[in-house]
Structure 1
């Protein structure tokens, strides 16, 4: 059996996200070849500073996604506050202000499900720390599309509800520490 080529990474996190992402994203090499889409539950009424924080910490370019923005390899796209981030195709991001999902907009599930439709078995889905079940359904969609599914070990998560919900709905997901995730992502960049 041949392993499908990896084409994109989608990461979802909530409570404890800044700390977890601060381990994972700065570890990536400047030559990382895939686009990375990050959805973090952020307050709708304030501007997000995530792109600025990670732009300073990472070797990759980190930006807040814009509607109809072209997807480029080696760029970290953060979902903006109060918008769902969807992938329309392999080339374009779409933002939506449709209803919140599990009280969240941006919703991790919405992004993961749209990415699974676009990239199928070429997608890597990662669920990190969080205090609700957002992301579990989206990770299952990635698994059903043949993609790679990874969940932060709940014992190492700031908030274990999100990784526990993801592994319950997607029992085939690989459970890893942040260090193991970094090593895995580094290995696919070579």
Structure 2
């Protein structure tokens, strides 16, 4: 029975180098394109963690977010798809109208289950699934946006030993989302937008984990 329990863990971590955090999740709404672009453009091509992105977008307009972001970063960018295995240096972008989740075996799942916080995809859904799968090896980042999506997810991330970062008010076009996350009292760092990428690099690469 123990061997069966250990198999998913091996699948999750086997693709990653010996780093402290395997997954970084960025969540944003209004003003998010600039914020996400600023972070991704400052990350090196050999950034050793996987990156997941939830950006609230109108379901009525086709999303070109992966194409836009791929022109602004040295990292590989792709629309998230069910069955994708998370890999280092790759950015997976949630698609409109579907929740993005991480399965216990480390693969992605797109879901059309009901909206959460009036949105789909919801940062809370993704944060919660990442928290239960990657536990202390996950970093959640809540960026500019209206509403409170991400706050409940931050609580889950912290409950499972992960780390939470929020964009500060002075650099947020809309402070509702990061403000709600900060109000939980569980955010580890509140940073200006320009400091987030360098902080992520430091956190992910500074401490090796056996």
- 1:45 corresponds in structure 2 to 60
Q: Which residue of 2 aligns with 1:132?
A: 147
2:39 is the counterpart of 1:24: yes
What does 1:30-179 correspond to in 2, within 5 Å? 30-179=45-194
The CA distance in 2 between the partners of 1:35 and 1:172, in whole Å, is: 21
Rounded to whole Å, the distance in 1 between the matches of 2:104 and 2:62 is 27
Quick one: distance in 2 between partners of 1:9 and 1:106? 17
* TM-score, normalising length: structure 2: 0.85
Deviation, 1:70, is 1.8
How far apart in 1 are the matches of 2:22 and 2:105?
Answer: 9
Aligned length: 187
Question: 4+ runs of 1 displaced by more than 6 Å?
Answer: none
Which of the two has higher C-alpha Rg?
2
Query: Structure 2: which 5+ residue stretches go unaligned?
Result: 1-18
Contact in 1 for aligned 2:139/2:165 (Cα 8 Å): yes
Structure 1 portions without partners, runs of 5+: none
Q: Which residue of 2 aligns with 1:181?
A: 196
In structure 1, the partner of 2:5 is none
Q: TM-score, normalised by structure 1?
A: 0.94
1:11 — aligned with what?
Answer: 26
Output one character per residue of 1:121-176: Cα deviation in whole Å (capped at 9) or x when no partner.
11001000001000010011101111111000022100011111000013443100
CA RMSD, 1 decimal: 1.4
Question: After the TM superposition, which of the residue ranges 39-48 and 55-64 deviates more from structure 2?
Answer: 39-48
> d(CA) in 2 for partners of 1:27 and 1:170?
28
